Amino acid sequence: MKKQFYVRKTFISVVLSICFLPLWGQSDFSQIDSLIKKMLPVASEVGISVYDLTAKTPLYNFRADKLSRPASTMKLLTAITALSRPEADDPFRTEVWYDGVIEHDTLQGNLYVVGGFDPEFDELAMDSLVREVITFPFSVINGQVYGDVSMKDSLYWGSGWAWDDNPEAYQPYLSPLMYCKGIVEVEVAPGAQQGDSARVFCKPISSYYTVTNQAKTHTPSAGKFSVSRDWLTNGNNIIVKGNMDGIRKSWVNVYDSKCYFMHAFLERLQGRGIVVPQSYGFAEIPLAGVQKMSSRETPVQDVLNQLMKESDNLNAEAFLCRLGAQATGKKYVTAKDGITEIMNLIEQLGHDPKDYKIADGCGLSNYDYLTPALLVDFLKYAYSQTDIFQKLYKSLPIAGIDGTLQNRMKGTVAYKNVHAKTGSYTAINALAGYLRMKNGHEVAFAIMNQNVLSAAKARAFQDKVCEIIIGR
């Protein structure tokens, strides 16, 4: 009898422990409520959603359905939707075609450079493209050289992008033909003696832009270091100013990307001894009578890694444009075509698309509005699709290791255990992704801080929340 009582008591204890396990786990998260009160400014707001992917149960929600500006966590929706397409693995392509005939060392016809919105097309890619072109038996082009940018409409910025963010490198002019991301890297170093002009080095080297160097060596009266260009008049004169007491780097966009690409293409052909026309134009490639000369491909994973690790706006917009092109099969794709596909997935996941606002693919727009719950549902969907999840997880910044999380969560339980996308602009800060709890469970989470002028405070709060979820 005593043994039966002991067995029964043990059984009841086990049952009770199982039944109340979620409650015990939930009690740990009461610390998040305390963090909200202690760490965040009174005027700020936050929305949080946490879901245990292993146990398939919600862990914590705080205003999870509150609309918030996502900043760069918007990139998660764009990427996950793009990766869900049947053609998701198709590389980004840039191609060169020609019509006419090649005779007596001369191309009696035209070249067409067809843009596929490859955001990673750089100097090495340009060299590769040109190397293939010059293997053909001609050294003179007796025709025209055209850029085909018919993949996308002519709107070069997203809806709601701030005009005065120009000429920042994070706001490039969008085009199916992108060269070095449509930006110039400017490195400035002091001269030999005080008062000398600083030394300026630019990459890539091109006659497409000019440089005005007003920077001085060890001359405090020269003012603060800055790099800009005559952007109000759509000029491409890069202006370097200020006192130089060490080596500095800056990046500036150029106007406009499709011309930047074509100018560089002609320069490279000339540099390899090809006699080219004095100028280039833009036209669609003919439907017939053309042959391929050259092609350059960039794997999707390479584009995705840059998008997530470095929060690259250009890469996100390239995904959005390609998403629209794949879904519609048409030319002159608009942002709306890509956004429609994101909205379709939102509906597929059980949400009403009318409850949200999406204006671009990267989150740079002030018109974007999402919720933490929606972000988590996208993360849950990605987790349920092995092929999507493997690509996405590989691309996400890792806490304390790389990308935009390289300098966060070091020396804490969150170190290496958080793989997530950051999002930040004035008064907005967000973090969404995956983490692994101490018990081995995988978790999807989204934290969206709003109206916090101090990004440092918002990030410190997010890091602490991650630590609490992971456990000690």
Q: What is the pLDDT of residues 133-157, one digit of tens each?
A: 999 999 999 999 999 999 999 999 9
Could you tell me if 234 and 382 lie in one domain?
no
Q: Are 367 and 67 in contact (CB under 8 A)?
A: no
Does residue 308 contact residue 317 with C-beta atoms inside 8 Å? no
Predicted confidence at residue 281, as pLDDT, reads 98
Q: What is the mean pLDDT of residues 171-181?
A: 98
Average pLDDT over residues 178-193: 98
Residues 417-459 pLDDT 10s: 999 999 999 999 999 999 999 999 999 999 999 999 999 999 9
pLDDT digits (tens, 9 = 90+) for 28-67: 788 999 999 999 999 999 999 999 999 999 999 999 999 9
Q: Note the pLDDT of residue 471.
A: 92
Closest by Cα among 343, 371, 344, 354 to 432: 371
Query: What is the arithmetic mean of pLDDT over 383-389?
Result: 98
pLDDT, tens only, 100-116: 999 999 999 999 999 99
Say yes or no to pLDDT of 10 above 90. Answer: no
Give residue 399's pLDDT band: very low, low, confident or very high (50, 70, 90): very high
Give yes or no for residue 7 having a pLDDT over 90: no
pLDDT of residue 263: 98
Taking Cα atoms as reference points, which of 408, 267, 251, 406 lies closest to residue 314? 251
- In the predicted structure, residue 11 carries a pLDDT above the cut 80: no
Residue bearing tokens 């929600």: 61
As a whole number, mean pLDDT of residues 219-231 equals 97
Of all residues in the chain, the percent with pLDDT exceeding 70 is 94
How would you class 191 by CB atoms within 10 Å of its CB: exposed for 0-12, middle for 13-18, buried for 19 or more? middle
Model confidence band, residue 18 (pLDDT cutoffs 50, 70, 90): very low
Predicted local confidence at residue 23, as pLDDT: 38
Answer yes or no: is 172 within a domain: no
Residue 218 has a pLDDT of 97
Q: Does residue 168 lie within any of the structural domains?
A: no
388: enclosing H helix or E strand: helix 386-395
Banded pLDDT at 25 (limits 50, 70, 90): very low
Which of 253, 277, 311 is the C-terminal boundary of a domain? 253
Looking at the fold, whether 282 and 314 belong to one and the same domain comes out as no
Q: What is the mean pLDDT of residues 332-342?
A: 98
Based on the fold, state whether residues 148 and 287 are members of the same structural domain. Answer: yes
Q: Which of 320, 341, 282 is nearest to 112 (CA)?
A: 282
201 is a domain residue = yes
Rounded Cα gap, residues 275 and 258, in angstroms: 21
Q: What is the pTM of this model?
A: 0.92
Query: Into how many domains does the chain fold?
Result: 3
Side-chain half-sphere of 181: how many Cα atoms within 13 Å? 21
66 and 181 together in one domain? no
User: What CATH number is associated with residue 99?
Assistant: 3.50.80.20
Whether 117 and 256 have beta carbons less than 8 Å apart is answered as no
Are residues 137 and 97 part of one domain? yes
Task: Give a yes or no: residue 9 inside a domain.
Answer: no
Same domain, 465 and 409: yes
Tell me how far apart the 2 most distant CA atoms of the chain are, in Å: 107
Cα dihedral 252, 256, 257, 261 sign: negative
pLDDT band at 21 (very low <50, low <70, confident <90, very high): very low
Least confident of 7-21, 216-230, 315-329, 353-367: 7-21
Is 422 contained in some domain?
yes
> Token match 């456990």: residue?
471
The tokens for 50 are 């946490």
**Are 433 and 328 within one domain?**
yes
**% of the chain exceeding 90 in pLDDT:** 93
Residues 262 and 141 in one domain: yes
Answer whether residue 289 is part of any domain.
Answer: yes
Which of 299, 321, 353 is at the close of a domain? 299
pLDDT score for 166: 96
pLDDT class of 172 with cuts at 50, 70, 90 = very high
* Spatial distance between the Cα atoms of 212 and 410, rounded to a whole number of angstroms: 42
192 domain residue, yes or no: yes
Structural domain of residue 232, as residue ranges?
177-253
Q: Which residue has the tokens 């293939």?
A: 132
Whether 294 and 315 share a structural domain:
no
Residue 19 counted as domain residue? no
The pLDDT assigned to 29 comes to 86
Question: Same structural domain for residues 445 and 324?
Answer: yes
Residues 107 and 196 grouped into a single domain: no
Q: What pLDDT does 470 receive?
A: 96
User: Which tens digit of pLDDT belongs to each residue from 347-369?
Assistant: 999 999 999 999 999 999 999 99
In the predicted model, what is the mean pLDDT of residues 61-75? 98
- Residue 128, burial from CB neighbour count under 10 angstroms (0-12, 13-18, 19+): middle
Q: Token pair 């025709």 is at which residue?
A: 143
Helix, strand and coil percent figures for the chain, each rounded to 5 = 35, 25, 40
Q: CA–CA separation, 417 vs 405, rounded Å?
A: 11
The answer to whether residues 281 and 415 belong to one domain is no
